[in-house]
């Protein structure tokens, strides 16, 4: 029987900081979506699944466990990710209204983006070691999808579980 495990994060080696140390989503909605994705992955693949959230808890995902020992770059080959992001239409409208130079610094850009309405974006992720066919050119490793079911379909068409990674 496979299990769903929540990651407490990985030590970075710097001042006790953890990478992916969010443990749960910033909102019940986000946490619930990631958990539902973990259940869908566990059903689709006979494998343990880990739930990881970034430290800000505004993004995270469910990943198939492909390595016995966790670490940077491990257990991150096949997954479904979620995050609160500004709606691209709002960013485009702001850019069109104000022009390219209206934000002078990164801090201003970050504050402005944080003020925009956010929606949850869903992506299916397939790392190079798990792709059925090699990527050609600059195609992304992620595919934006509109549901957990669509993510599972994308993974079924594009990802293969290998015995050794």
Instruction: Supply the DSSP symbol for 64.
Output: E
Per-residue pLDDT tens digits for 114-164: 777 778 899 999 988 888 888 887 777 889 999 999 999 999 999 988 876
The HSE-up count of residue 133 (CA atoms within 13 Å, CB side) is: 6
Q: Is residue 134 part of a domain?
A: yes
Q: Is residue 147 part of a domain?
A: yes
By DSSP bridging, strand 59-64 and strand 49-53 are antiparallel
Q: Is residue 30 part of a domain?
A: yes
Residue 34 has pLDDT above 60, yes or no: yes
Interior CA angle at 59 toward 5 and 91, to 5°? 165
**Cβ contact 55:20 at 8 Å:** yes
Q: Is residue 18 part of a domain?
A: yes
pLDDT score recorded for residue 73:
66
Q: Is residue 75 part of a domain?
A: yes
Residue 96, Ramachandran bin (φ over 0: left; ψ between -120 and 50: alpha; else beta): alpha
Give Cα separations from 66 to 4, 30, 120, 164 (angstroms).
13, 24, 26, 8
Q: Is residue 101 part of a domain?
A: no
Q: Containing domain of residue 48, as a range?
A: 4-83+119-158
Separation between Cα atoms, residue 65 and residue 59, nearest integer Å: 19
- List of residues 6+ apart from 59 with CB closer than 8 A: 53, 81, 82, 83, 84
Tally of domains in the chain:
1
Give Cα separations from 113 to 29, 31, 38 (angstroms).
21, 22, 29
For the CA atoms of the chain, what is the radius of gyration?
A: 17
pLDDT score recorded for residue 46:
85
Q: Is residue 108 part of a domain?
A: no
Q: Is residue 106 part of a domain?
A: no
What is the average pLDDT value for the chain, to the nearest integer? 82
């Amino acid at each position: 029987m496979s299990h769903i495990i929540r990651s407490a994060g990985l030590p970075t080696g710097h001042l006790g900081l953890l990478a992916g140390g969010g443990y749960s989503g910033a909102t019940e909605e986000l946490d619930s979506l990631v958990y539902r994705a973990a259940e869908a992955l566990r059903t689709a693949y006979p494998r343990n699944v880990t739930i990881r959230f970034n430290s800000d808890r505004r993004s995270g995902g469910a990943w198939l466990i492909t390595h016995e020992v966790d670490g940077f770059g491990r257990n991150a080959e096949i997954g479904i990710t979620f995050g609160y992001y500004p709606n691209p239409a709002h960013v485009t409208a702001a850019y069109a209204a104000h022009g390219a130079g209206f934000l002078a610094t990164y801090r201003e850009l970050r504050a402005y983006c944080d003020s925009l309405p956010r929606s949850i974006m869903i992506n299916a992720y397939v790392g190079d070691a798990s792709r059925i066919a090699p990527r050609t050119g600059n195609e992304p490793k992620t595919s934006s999808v509109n549901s957990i079911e669509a993510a599972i379909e994308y993974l079924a068409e594009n990802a293969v579980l290998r015995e050794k990674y």
